[in-house]
Structures are given as C-alpha cells and as structure tokens.
C-alpha cells in the first residue's frame, strides 16, 4: 500500500442549530478551526505526540476524538502495520459551542485518509468522524461533524442512518460569531431543556426550518430572515449566556438576517447577506461584552463551502 509520509489538514469550526434547526442544521466557518499534522512512523499504531491550544485534551487515542476517528478508519481498511504520529493544534476555543470536538474528529479521519491516499471519499469519512465526536459529546450527532467535514450548510434528517444532506446555499452569506469566554457544557445545556414542547411551537419551529431550507434554495433572504427564529431552544438556554438579549438586539439593529445561539452556546452567531453588516454587527456585539468586562473572541467569515481540507 502506497502512503504519504506526512500531511497537514484543517477542519473548520461549525455553528449548529442555526435557530430553526435544533439537532438538524449546521454550517462551516472559514475560521477558526483545528490543524492536525500526521506523519508516518516506524512503530505500528497511532500516537498523539503533541497537542497545543487544548490543555485538557487526552493523549490517549481511545479518549481523544481525533484519535478515535483515526483508529476507526484504520480498522476499516484493515491496516495494522502502519505507524502514525499526530500533532493536534487546536486553534479554536473549547466548550464554546463551535463544534471543537467535531472539528478534531473530522481532522483525525481526514488526516489518516490522506496519509493512506484516500481509501474513502469525504462522504464516507462521516461514520469515522462521528465515532470520534461520540467519545467527546456522548451523543451520536452529526450536526457539527457534517458541516466540518463537508462544508456549506448541512441538514441531518436522521443521525443513526446518517441521512445527511448538503443544502443549496445562495452566494453572499456571512456569519458573525462572538464567543464570550464563559464556559457552558454541552451536556448541561442539553439537560436543562424541557422534554416537551407545545404543539403550537412544534408546528412553528418546523415551519421555520422549512422556510429556511426554501429560502436558501430560492436565495430569498427575507424568507431566510423570517425563518431564523427559535421558539423552542433559545428561550430556554438564553439565560445561560450573559447579555444574550442585548447582544442579539444589537446585531438585529445592524440589519443581520437573524441571530441566535451557536450550538449549545455560549457563542452567539448572526447571519448576514452583506459583509459590512456582518462586521458592524460583530463590532456592536463585541462592545457589549467589553463594556461588561467579559473577554470575547470574534470571528467573521463567509460560509466555508469546502469543509475540512488538506493544505
């Protein structure tokens, strides 16, 4: 088997849920993301030799999302002889609601696939990356993994069967993401959710999801804007994020199409169809946290249509 001696990949951060698509929608950012370097070594097996930017992450490959994804892929090709050393350079905040564990899992699967000269297509990497993500989040969810792998805006109809679709995306969409540096654990954010939803809100949320998909398809930004409304999750989780309402209102005032929680937070995202609006919204969102002495990181990006890349 011919292999590459060393490669470097970049897996992007992602925004899941997108207001109207809890557990179904996600999109990829151009920045930030995870960089992963993989090199062939003489000693069989996968080893993580370096992690930067993520102090708490395990070197044990059975506990590390990138390690699990890489290992599952190697098992699938039946290659037991190869030795691989991985360096993970986390260039994005952990626990920020931007799909950090998904990005690492995607990077791990992509890196090993590239080292082996692509036994699998990108789509076929999905179950390996999902196995990695599951180690971190405890759940088999594709809402961050799919966009980090495939790019664009993705839709998950069913996680178990990996019924995943890439939506058509009109040109000119921008994403503003602000990460206020307060920690929220995905599991805690998930556990705080009520197990029941009113029938009225069930219908309205589904209607918004449908409207969003149709709006993307038609390039109807007004429909996208009307559909970027979360009547179920945001009202329950907003209180976890300091100054959420104020930040959201500031973004909407700048003319963004919509603004809500990224994943389970604390990051907040806004979608715009104009880079100036995306930047102005970012400036205003940042200002509110600065006035309240909360550190932030701000990311303004087009939608990343590539997903994970080797570079």
Catalytic residues: 133, 186
Which position among 121, 195, 293, 311 is part of the footprint of a copy of itself (CB under 8 A)? 195
By CB under 8 A, tell whether 24 contacts a copy of itself.
yes
Which position among 83, 138, 210, 235 is part of the footprint of a copy of itself (CB under 8 A)? 210
Q: What do you get for the CA distance between the two ends of the chain, in Å?
A: 22
The nearer residue to a copy of itself, 207 or 305, going by C-beta atoms, is 207
Which position among 152, 211, 263, 282 is part of the footprint of a copy of itself (CB under 8 A)? 211
Which positions ≥6 away from 97 have C-beta within 8 Å? 16, 179, 184, 186, 261, 262, 263, 264, 265, 266, 267
Identify whether the C-beta of residue 53 lies closer than 8 Å to the C-beta of residue 67: no
* Burial 188-197, CB ≥16 within 10 A → b, else e: ebeeeeeeeb
The nearer residue to a copy of itself, 167 or 297, going by C-beta atoms, is 167
The nearer residue to a copy of itself, 21 or 67, going by C-beta atoms, is 21
Ordered DSSP codes for 83-133? EEEEEEEEES-TTSSS-HHHHHHHHHHHHHHHHTT-SS-TGGGHHHHHHHH
Which position among 181, 202, 239, 245 is part of the footprint of a copy of itself (CB under 8 A)? 202
* CA-derived radius of gyration, the chain: 19
By CB under 8 A, tell whether 213 contacts a copy of itself.
yes
By CB under 8 A, what part of segment 147-186 binds a copy of itself? 155-158, 163, 165, 167-168
Cα(67)–Cα(72) distance, integer angstroms: 9
By CB under 8 A, what part of segment 220-279 binds a copy of itself? 223, 226-227, 232
Cα(144)–Cα(293) distance, integer angstroms: 30
Cα(279)–Cα(276) distance, integer angstroms: 5
* CB 191, min distance to a copy of itself, A: 12
The nearer residue to a copy of itself, 165 or 243, going by C-beta atoms, is 165
* CB 183, min distance to a copy of itself, A: 24
By CB under 8 A, tell whether 23 contacts a copy of itself.
yes
By CB under 8 A, tell whether 206 contacts a copy of itself.
yes
**Cα distances (angstroms) measured from residue 146 to each of 15, 83, 130, 187, 292:** 11, 28, 9, 20, 35
* CB 296, min distance to a copy of itself, A: 30
Contact footprint for a copy of itself (CB under 8 A):
21-24, 155-158, 163, 165, 167-168, 193-199, 201-211, 213-214, 217, 223, 226-227, 232
């Amino acid at each position: 088997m011919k292999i590459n001696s060393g490669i470097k990949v970049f897996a992007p951060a992602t925004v899941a849920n997108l207001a109207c698509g809890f557990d179904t929608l996600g999109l990829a950012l151009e920045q930030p993301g995870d960089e992963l370097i993989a090199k062939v070594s003489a000693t069989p097996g996968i080893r993580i030799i370096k992690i930067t930017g993520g102090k708490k992450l395990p070197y044990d490959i059975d506990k590390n999302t990138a390690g699990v994804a890489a290992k599952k892929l190697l098992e699938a090709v039946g290659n037991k002889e190869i030795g691989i050393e991985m360096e993970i350079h986390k260039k994005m905040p952990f626990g920020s609601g931007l799909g950090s564990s998904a990005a690492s899992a995607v990077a791990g699967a992509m890196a090993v696939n590239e080292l082996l000269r692509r036994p699998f297509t990108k789509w076929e990497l999905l179950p390996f990356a999902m196995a990695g993500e599951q180690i971190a989040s405890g759940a088999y969810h594709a809402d961050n993994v799919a966009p980090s792998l495939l790019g664009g805006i993705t839709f998950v109809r069913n996680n178990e069967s990996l019924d995943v679709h890439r939506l058509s995306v009109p040109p000119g969409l921008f994403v503003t993401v602000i990460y206020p540096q307060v920690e929220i654990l995905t599991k805690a954010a998930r556990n705080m959710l009520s197990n029941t939803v009113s029938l009225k809100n069930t219908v309205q949320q589904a209607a918004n999801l449908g409207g969003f998909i149709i709006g993307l398809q038609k390039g109807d930004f007004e429909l996208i804007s009307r559909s970027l409304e979360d009547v179920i999750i945001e009202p329950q989780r907003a209180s976890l994020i300091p100054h959420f309402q104020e930040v959201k209102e500031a973004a909407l005032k700048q003319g963004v199409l919509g603004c809500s929680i990224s994943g389970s937070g604390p990051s907040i995202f806004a979608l715009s169809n104009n880079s100036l609006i995306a930047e102005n919204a970012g400036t205003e969102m940042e200002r509110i946290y600065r006035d309240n002495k909360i550190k932030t990181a701000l990311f303004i990006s087009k939608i990343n249509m590539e997903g994970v890349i080797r570079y």
